[in-house]
Structure 1
Amino acid sequence: MRKLVVFFSCLMMNSMVLMAQKEEGKIGMGQLIDEQFKFAEQQYKVLAKNVPADVMPQTYNAKTDKVQTSDTKWWCSGFFPGTLLYIYEYTKDAAILKEANARLGILEKEKHYTGNHDLGFMMYCSFGNAYRLFKKPEDKATIDTAAASLTTRYRPAAKVIQSWNSGKKWGGPVIIDNMMNLELLSWVSDHGGDKKYKEIAITHANSTLKNHFRPDFSSYHVVDYDMKTGKVVKKQTAQGAADESAWSRGQSWGLYGYTMMYRFTKDKRYLSQATKIAKFILTNPHLPKDLVPYWDFDAPEIPNALRDASAAAVNASALLELAQYSDKKDRKMYVAVAEKMIRALASDTYRAKLGENGGFLLMHSVGSIPHKSEIDVPLTYADYYFLEALHRYKNWYLKS
């Protein structure tokens, strides 16, 4: 029986590759990437004009034709400057860089924030990219301070970084999203910072590996710990369809997170976990043909469920990195599938027209249906990981 499951899983994945490779009438990826960045260059100037200088863009309300904004303590505050930096890296547009620097200026103070686990999203996706491009000592100092702030949420007895503060529903919640913030800690340790930061990241990744995943390698969203003993109290969801469902973006965070942790550690357990998460996503019978997931793989309204472009963007970027660590056959498959995802997101179905969508690039993402928040709208992190995927494809796989 197990051999049959493996056979049909491989058959499904091979079919995806063939579909990705045999689509006709496609422009080359080099041209597609160039077109997307030139579009982003103009579109993000529209977005910048729609957002006051002291806040960050969050989403767009089509009914009011206004961009909704947030303060810099919001967990996604780093994505706007990070996206601007990705655009500048490709286009070298001075106005885009000026805007990025202005937004970094209002974000910098959050290096001291300890209110939740999201310092990686906030500070590494922004100042991490800035330091990568310009190597300014002050940017590295900001990243180092942010890592120190994040470690204040580490709970040694439970061997995890607590995601959110204790509340009525959960005493010690840890969410799968937290895997993404381990990049900040690992990078700082590897670049002259305190070695304990990476040790914390590894310990957290190991606890998540043990407690967050089901036998099919799908992930729970929230695991509630007793932070004094490390005992798992319950496993539930905040943004998924049900406690036992596979919330799509949560699967994406896991895929990206363990691929990234393999980069920093070369621990084969992490590579194995990333590969198995990828298999769960790519062979899932509820994954649509264009590979842009429904908001939850078990959403009760499938096939009429809303899609989540942000999950597809994260998946595309993660698979392009996973391909770097895979054998020739899997590498080819992952790149082909990521390309199909990118092409879907770049199509008229998901990518906005110039001047529309409030200035955001992608349409049709889902924040949290259970909270009736950010439903079928653009989201700032969807744009960020879409452009990251384009950069990765260009730098790693585009033939010169």
Structure 2
Amino acid sequence: MKNSFYQFGLLIPIFLAFGACKSEPANDTQTEQTVAENKITDEFIQTEIDKAVAQYKFLSEHTPEDKLPRTFENGQLVTSGTGWWTSGFYPGTLLYLFEMSGDSSLLQLAEQKLTILEKEKNNEGTHDLGFMLYCSFGNAYRITGNEQYKDIMLKGAESLATRFHEEVGLIKSWDHGKWKYPVIIDNMMNLEFLFWAAEAGGDDRYIDINLAHADSTIANHFREDNSSFHVIDYDPADGSVVEKRTHQGMADESAWARGQSWGLYGFTVMYRETKDQAYLDQAVKIADFILGHSNLPADMVPYWDFNDGPSDSTYRDASAAAINASALLELSKYVKDTDKAKKYLADAETMIVSLASDKYTAAKGDNGGFILKHSVGSLPHKSEVDVPLTYADYYYIEALKRYKEWDLGK
């Protein structure tokens, strides 16, 4: 993803008393007790959705019509234009909340944002069109059946596919910086969009693009311990690896937490769409790295980088936990090992209950209207550190939705 080292959102003061998003000491003993005492029930989920709806209505009241909320920092709402990589998450979350609450005002709020977001279908300058268009228009089309949304996404898929070059065999992530042909692990998340487009009448070549991209990612992004590098820079002439680096993690050789989450989710999707055992194996390897890491706290909300020393002052990343929870719920359905499937489900439940606690879920009217506290965008760039983030909210609500609709934990 791009980060605010390259682009800054609009700061909008909100002259109301909000809670701060500073680091809080970890209390893993209390969290373990909470998880043990709380089962995720329909009532639990409904309570969390009701709180989320109230928050997002509050957030909508302070979001300009021509902007999208991005975070809340230093007492101010930070917004973005539609070209920012997170632009699809806010309308996507509104759509999830509409489905789970039946509140039609949320659908109307989402549709208003879709009108300003549509132009990004022509954006060939970003690999993030899956986040921007599929998380927004994809959910809108699934819910409403509006054919206009389908057409917008098919055009967006065409734009995304222009970033794939046969010589390298991967979708290029960035056009900025000193990189020659950078590909980040985050890019795995945009392949779901191309799978949808191929099935919806788009170019069948999209499937070949996805397979090539995923296979090269397995070959080059992962270390022997199954952790992932963040950025692989390739030679655009022949596709050879130039260097392996990080952009948002602690160090080139460290395991940036959200990067591991993107890989977990992305390869779970790859297995869903292809039923290729190699992709399921990769998802399992990533899951086991995350869940088995000695630095994973008991509440299973990771520190921002697995290689940063665990302490009460080390930042947590709620966004990574939310992505992990949603991905693990799905992965638990695919693995054939019953004990492993139960573990993935149980660990996802722990993450959900932890995120629903007061430590991570904001009180009504606090946190600028965002649902979750304590996420990290890019610590090396001092950007969005220990703040709410729209994608943390999106994947948290998605996890709740999956748990309820898939009738898990019964």
Bin for the TM-score computed over the shorter chain: over 0.9
Q: Which residue of 1 aligns with 2:208?
A: 199
Q: Which residue of 1 aligns with 2:360?
A: 350
Matched, 1:309 2:318: yes
Over residues 22-49 of structure 1, what are the superposed CA-to-partner deviations in whole Å (9 max), with x where a residue is unaligned?
Answer: 9543254211110111111111011011
Over residues 179-202 of structure 1, what are the superposed CA-to-partner deviations in whole Å (9 max), with x where a residue is unaligned?
Answer: 000010111112222100111011
Matched, 1:228 2:237: yes
Matched, 1:397 2:373: no
Q: Which residue of 1 aligns with 2:49?
A: 37
CA–CA separation in structure 2 for the residues paired with 1:194 and 1:113: 18
Question: Residue type matched to 1:262 in 2?
Answer: Y
Question: Residue type matched to 1:386 in 2?
Answer: Y
Q: Which residue of 1 aligns with 2:306?
A: 297
Q: Which residue of 1 aligns with 2:78?
A: 68
Q: Which residue of 1 aligns with 2:327?
A: 318
Q: Which residue of 2 aligns with 1:248?
A: 257
CA–CA separation in structure 1 for the residues paired with 2:318 and 2:138: 24
Identity of aligned residues (%): 55
Structure 1 residues 101 and 77, CA gap change in structure 2 (3 angstroms) = same
For normalisation by structure 1, the TM-score amounts to 0.92
Give 1:21 shift.
Answer: 10
Structure 1 residues 166 and 23, CA gap change in structure 2 (3 angstroms) = closer
Q: How does 1:1-400 map to 2 (within 5 A)?
A: 23-26=35-38, 28-61=40-73, 63=74, 65-168=75-178, 170-300=179-309, 302=311, 304-327=313-336, 328-398=338-408
Higher relative contact order (CA 8 A, sep 6+): 2
Q: How many residues align?
A: 380
SS of 1:146's equivalent in the other structure is helix
For the Cα contact (< 8 Å) 2:40–2:353, is it kept in 1?
A: no
Q: Which residue of 2 aligns with 1:5?
A: none
For the Cα contact (< 8 Å) 1:166–1:172, is it kept in 2?
A: no
Question: Residue type matched to 1:72 in 2?
Answer: T
CA–CA separation in structure 2 for the residues paired with 1:183 and 1:104: 20
For the Cα contact (< 8 Å) 2:185–2:262, is it kept in 1?
A: yes
Give 1:397 shift.
Answer: 2.9
CA–CA separation in structure 2 for the residues paired with 1:135 and 1:122: 19
CA–CA separation in structure 2 for the residues paired with 1:294 and 1:112: 37
CA–CA separation in structure 2 for the residues paired with 1:267 and 1:322: 14
For the Cα contact (< 8 Å) 2:85–2:131, is it kept in 1?
A: yes
Over residues 313-332 of structure 1, what are the superposed CA-to-partner deviations in whole Å (9 max), with x where a residue is unaligned?
Answer: 00000000101101222221
For normalisation by structure 2, the TM-score amounts to 0.90
SS of 1:264's equivalent in the other structure is helix
Question: Residue type matched to 2:314 in 1?
Answer: A
Question: Residue type matched to 1:256 in 2?
Answer: Y
SS of 2:219's equivalent in the other structure is helix
Over residues 354-398 of structure 1, what are the superposed CA-to-partner deviations in whole Å (9 max), with x where a residue is unaligned?
Answer: 011000000000000001100000000000000000011011134
Q: Which residue of 2 aligns with 1:12?
A: none
Over residues 60-115 of structure 1, what are the superposed CA-to-partner deviations in whole Å (9 max), with x where a residue is unaligned?
Answer: 01x3x221000000000000000000000011111111101001111011111111
Unaligned runs of 5+ in 1: 1-18
Over residues 116-152 of structure 1, what are the superposed CA-to-partner deviations in whole Å (9 max), with x where a residue is unaligned?
Answer: 2100000000001111111111111111111100011
Unaligned runs of 5+ in 2: 1-30
Note the aligned Cα RMSD (angstroms): 1.7
For the Cα contact (< 8 Å) 1:83–1:384, is it kept in 2?
A: yes
Question: Residue type matched to 1:73 in 2?
Answer: G
For the Cα contact (< 8 Å) 1:225–1:232, is it kept in 2?
A: yes
Over residues 217-271 of structure 1, what are the superposed CA-to-partner deviations in whole Å (9 max), with x where a residue is unaligned?
Answer: 1000000000111010000000000000000000000000000011111111000
Structure 1 residues 105 and 22, CA gap change in structure 2 (3 angstroms) = closer
Structure 1 residues 194 and 21, CA gap change in structure 2 (3 angstroms) = farther
Question: Residue type matched to 2:138 in 1?
Answer: G
Q: Which residue of 2 aligns with 1:13?
A: none
For the Cα contact (< 8 Å) 2:32–2:298, is it kept in 1?
A: no
CA–CA separation in structure 1 for the residues paired with 2:34 and 2:281: 29
